């Protein structure tokens, strides 16, 4: 998964590898320097010591340069690869079907993009380089050491297999626990998202204590997992450290013995001791890197899980309406089920002529919103066809389909940013004139201009700084700007004062004009003027006609109307008497 991103920056990695080999060379240069410097000093050869000191200065300069460039280039490579991967992941997420969003928490998805995508660093940075560097280093150290003293080299190497084996076992355990930790972080993120998005409910129901306790429990669980992980790492480091220390003492002991026997010089022994760590460390260190690598692999697996989800489209949809589209909609024998068990729509039939206003009414759970989901192509019906003019919508691209429809949801969703940006989402590259015209038609221009920064007013997360009626009018302005031939309107249920209600209704009437409109009506009093009213129950249209036709049928519509009418009348009378 990660290779194409790494290969894209092959030039940076090429320089990193070059620096890596230079640093290996420099290690041997230092060993050689130590060996000869000490022996020259013991021989009291002043001119050789002077020359060696010059080499020492050269070593210092080179090692500083290598260190600077390796650190910088490694960070640059990691940042570039990680940014590309995150872009690709977000691009993929934006193309995933609605079904995926329905079954995954937004906090969990944020976690994949943050905790998990950041967790791959180990696999693309120093660990990846070390996995290559350490074996080369160990092999070269072995050859060099063998030349100094073969027997001593073999003795030191005896500890290697034990260290390597224990490293592999620990690596596996680390990977398993890392995955559990990453999963817990995802859950924690979801919990936090809910806690902040639902803060008004939390406060109004005084749930603070309960929520805090839940947070403490999740955090406690995460902490104990981190403890286990830390213990594993601790054991591993301790094992690696004692293997290193043991080899050091063995070298010193046996080397001291050779020194006394005069079969090794002081310079040789010092050089040996300095270099032997590069022989033993790779064996333990490689396993350590392996452990860190495994942690990154665990994060990568979670990122890969998202990439494995088949996207709905190849590119990001852009919204291009069908040419010559008149706007008629026909739904023929639709059957649709979300989970494959109960049918949300069942033998649903409805014909909507172009430019007409159709109101959908029916009890809660009847399938009205589901129909919108199908019309916008979020889900596909299991059987039956939906036609836009005469074209089956499953043959249209997502761009064409969504270019044909403008959706005004029941609850307006506004994005953090300015009013201008929020309206402009309706149309790519909309001019200032178009924007203001849309706002005027939506009865929003006046209130926007009364705000201190006009169209540049920041509205806060989800428009918290605006009233319900203002938010609705911005959503209407956005839809007017989009100017799609089909309008899907989910009527807001929350009551507005009569002045605001009038302004919103006026804006909606302008929006519906000469547009095929399907409105999910929650208050029957607002749909008297609809060209057609379709009564939906248990996923199918059970009666349809104009308001008067349906009243005279005395069916479900007449009953629903009676209930609402008497409720409204009671409320009116109560208001009068109050
Ligand atoms: N994402 C979903 N996954 C599974 N089932 C769903 C999903 N959305 C809706 N349903 C189910 O589909 C059926 C129809 O729901 P739908 O939201 O279309 O009803 P509705 O008529 O719009 O109701 P309301 O007026 O209350 O909004 C219901 O039984 C509901 O539980």
Per-residue model confidence (pLDDT) at position 122:
76
Question: Using a 6 Å cutoff on CB, does residue 338 contact ligand 1?
Answer: yes
Measured in residues, the chain has a length of: 578
Find out whether 330 and 351 touch, Cβ atoms under 8 Å.
yes
ipTM of the complex as predicted: 0.95
List 524's β-bridge partners, or say none.
none
CA of 337 to the centre of ligand 1 (A): 10
Quick one: tokens of 294? 């495994």
CA of 530 to the centre of ligand 1 (A): 24
Question: Using a 6 Å cutoff on CB, does residue 337 contact ligand 1?
Answer: no
Q: Which atom of ligand 1 is nearest to the CA of 360?
A: 21
pLDDT, tens digit, for every residue of 7-36? 898 899 899 989 988 998 998 899 899 889
What residue owns the CA closest to ligand 1's atom 6?
A: 338
Question: Using a 6 Å cutoff on CB, does residue 344 contact ligand 1?
Answer: yes
CA of 377 to the centre of ligand 1 (A): 16
Where do we find the tokens 């301790």?
Answer: 238
CA of 539 to the centre of ligand 1 (A): 10
Its sign, for the CA torsion 470, 471, 476, 480, is: positive
Per-residue model confidence (pLDDT) at position 518:
94
Per-residue model confidence (pLDDT) at position 99:
86
Domains of the chain (ranges plus CATH)? 3-307 (1.20.1560.10), 329-541 (3.40.50.300)
What residue owns the CA closest to ligand 1's atom 8?
A: 370
Rounded Cα gap, residues 153 and 529, in angstroms: 95
Question: Using a 6 Å cutoff on CB, does residue 406 contact ligand 1?
Answer: no
Q: Which atom of ligand 1 is nearest to the CA of 339?
A: 4
CA of 234 to the centre of ligand 1 (A): 52
What residue owns the CA closest to ligand 1's atom 4?
A: 338
pLDDT, tens digit, for every residue of 39-86? 899 888 999 999 999 999 999 999 999 999 999 999 999 999 999 999
What is the SS3 assignment for 231? helix
CA of 369 to the centre of ligand 1 (A): 7
349-355: which pairs have CB atoms within 8 A and are 24 or more residues apart?
A: 349/540, 349/541, 350/534, 350/541, 350/544, 352/328, 352/516, 352/518, 352/532, 353/328, 353/516, 353/531, 354/326, 354/327, 354/328, 354/389, 354/485, 354/516, 355/326, 355/327, 355/514, 355/515, 355/516
Question: Using a 6 Å cutoff on CB, does residue 102 contact ligand 1?
Answer: yes
Question: Using a 6 Å cutoff on CB, does residue 370 contact ligand 1?
Answer: yes
Half-sphere exposure at residue 454, Cβ-oriented, CA atoms within 13 angstroms: 7
Task: Return the C-alpha torsion angle 316, 317, 320, 323, nearest 10.
Answer: 110
Q: Which atom of ligand 1 is nearest to the CA of 102?
A: 1
What residue owns the CA closest to ligand 1's atom 2?
A: 338
Assign 3-state DSSP to the chain and report helix, strand, coil percentages, each to 5: 70, 10, 20
Find out whether 149 and 229 touch, Cβ atoms under 8 Å.
no
Q: Which atom of ligand 1 is nearest to the CA of 539?
A: 14
Q: Torsions phi, psi of 535, nearest 5? A: -95, 120
For 504-517, b/e burial (b = at least 16 CB within 10 A) is beebbeebbeebbb
CA of 364 to the centre of ligand 1 (A): 8
Most informative mutation of 340, 370, 378 for ligand 1 (most atoms within 8 A of CB): 370
What residue owns the CA closest to ligand 1's atom 17?
A: 369
* pLDDT under 50: residue ranges of the chain: none
CA of 367 to the centre of ligand 1 (A): 6
Question: Using a 6 Å cutoff on CB, does residue 367 contact ligand 1?
Answer: yes
CA of 567 to the centre of ligand 1 (A): 25
Per-residue model confidence (pLDDT) at position 213:
93
CA of 344 to the centre of ligand 1 (A): 7
pLDDT, tens digit, for every residue of 386-420? 999 988 998 888 888 888 889 988 888 888 888 99
Per-residue model confidence (pLDDT) at position 295:
77
CA of 181 to the centre of ligand 1 (A): 35
What residue owns the CA closest to ligand 1's atom 14?
A: 367
What residue owns the CA closest to ligand 1's atom 3?
A: 338
Question: Using a 6 Å cutoff on CB, does residue 339 contact ligand 1?
Answer: yes
CA of 383 to the centre of ligand 1 (A): 18
Tell which residue, 428, 474, 425, has the closest CA to residue 451: 474
Question: Using a 6 Å cutoff on CB, does residue 368 contact ligand 1?
Answer: yes
Where do we find the tokens 């790492």?
Answer: 233
Question: For residue 481, how far is the Cα from the chain centroid?
Answer: 30
Find out whether 113 and 1 touch, Cβ atoms under 8 Å.
no
Tell which residue, 431, 449, 451, has the closest CA to residue 440: 449
What residue owns the CA closest to ligand 1's atom 12?
A: 344
CA of 28 to the centre of ligand 1 (A): 71
Rounded Cα gap, residues 464 and 415, in angstroms: 10
What residue owns the CA closest to ligand 1's atom 16?
A: 367
Edge to edge, the sheet with strand 357-361 lists 405-408, 486-490, 516-520, 357-361, 532-537, 540-545
CA of 324 to the centre of ligand 1 (A): 33
Quick one: tokens of 287? 């396993």
């Amino acid at each position: 998964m990660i290779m194409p991103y790494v290969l894209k920056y092959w030039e940076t990695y090429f320089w990193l590898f070059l620096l890596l080999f230079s640093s290996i060379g420099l290690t041997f240069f230092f060993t050689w320097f130590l060996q000869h410097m000490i022996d020259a000093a013991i021989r009291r050869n002043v001119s050789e010591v002077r020359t060696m000191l010059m080499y020492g200065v050269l070593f210092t300069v080179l090692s500083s340069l290598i260190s600077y460039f390796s650190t910088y280039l490694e960070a640059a490579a990691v940042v570039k690869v990680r940014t590309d991967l995150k872009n690709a992941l977000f691009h993929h997420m934006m193309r995933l079907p609605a079904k995926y969003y329905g079954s995954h928490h937004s906090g969990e998805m944020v976690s994949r993009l943050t905790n998990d995508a950041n967790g791959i660093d180990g696999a693309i940075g120093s660990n990846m380089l070390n996995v290559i560097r350490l074996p080369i280093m160990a092999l070269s150290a072995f050859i060099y050491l063998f030349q100094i003293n073969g027997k001593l080299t073999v003795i030191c190497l005896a500890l290697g297999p034990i260290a390597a084996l224990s490293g592999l076992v620990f690596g596996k355990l680390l990977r398993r626990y890392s995955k559990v930790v990453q999963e817990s972080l995802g859950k924690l993120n979801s919990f936090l998202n809910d806690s902040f998005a639902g803060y008004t409910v939390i406060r109004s129901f005084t749930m603070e204590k309960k929520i805090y306790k839940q947070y403490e429990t999740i955090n406690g669980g995460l902490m104990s997992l981190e403890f286990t992980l830390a213990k594993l790492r601790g054991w591993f480091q301790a094992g690696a450290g004692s293997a290193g220390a043991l080899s050091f003492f063995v070298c010193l002991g046996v080397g001291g013995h050779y020194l006394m026997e005069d079969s090794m010089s002081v310079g040789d022994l010092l050089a040996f001791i300095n270099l032997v760590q590069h022989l033993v460390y790779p064996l333990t260190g490689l396993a350590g890197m392996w452990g860190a690598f495994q942690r990154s692999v665990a994060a990568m697996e979670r990122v890969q899980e998202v990439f494995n989800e088949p996207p709905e489209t190849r590119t990001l949809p852009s919204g291009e309406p069908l040419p010559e589209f008149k706007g008629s909609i026909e739904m023929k024998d639709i059957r649709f089920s979300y989970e494959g068990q109960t049918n949300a729509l069942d033998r649903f039939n409805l014909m909507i002529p172009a430019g007409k206003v159709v109101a959908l009414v029916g009890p809660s759970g009847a399938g009205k919103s589901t129909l919108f989901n199908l019309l916008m192509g979020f889900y596909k019906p299991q059987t039956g066809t939906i036609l836009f003019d005469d074209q089956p919508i499953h043959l249209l691209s997502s761009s064409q389909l969504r270019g044909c429809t403008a959706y005004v949801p029941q609850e307006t969703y506004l994005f953090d940013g300015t009013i201008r940006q929020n309206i402009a989402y309706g149309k790519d590259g909309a001019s200032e004139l178009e924007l203001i015209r849309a706002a005027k038609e939506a009865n929003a221009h006046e209130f926007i201009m009364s705000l201190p920064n006009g169209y540049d007013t920041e509205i806060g997360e989800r428009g918290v700084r605006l009233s319900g009626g203002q938010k609705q009018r911005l959503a209407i302005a956005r839809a007017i700007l989009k100017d799609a031939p089909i309008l899907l309107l989910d009527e807001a249920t929350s009551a507005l004062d009569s002045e605001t209600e009038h302004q919103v209704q006026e804006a909606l009437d302008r929006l519906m004009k000469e547009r095929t409109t399907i409105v999910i009506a929650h208050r029957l009093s607002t749909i008297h003027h609809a060209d057609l009213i379709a009564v939906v129950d248990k996923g199918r249209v059970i009666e349809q006609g104009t308001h008067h036709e349906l009243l005279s049928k005395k069916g479900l519509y007449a009953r629903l109307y009676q209930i609402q009418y008497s409720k409204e009348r009671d409320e009116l009378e109560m208001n009068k008497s109050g």
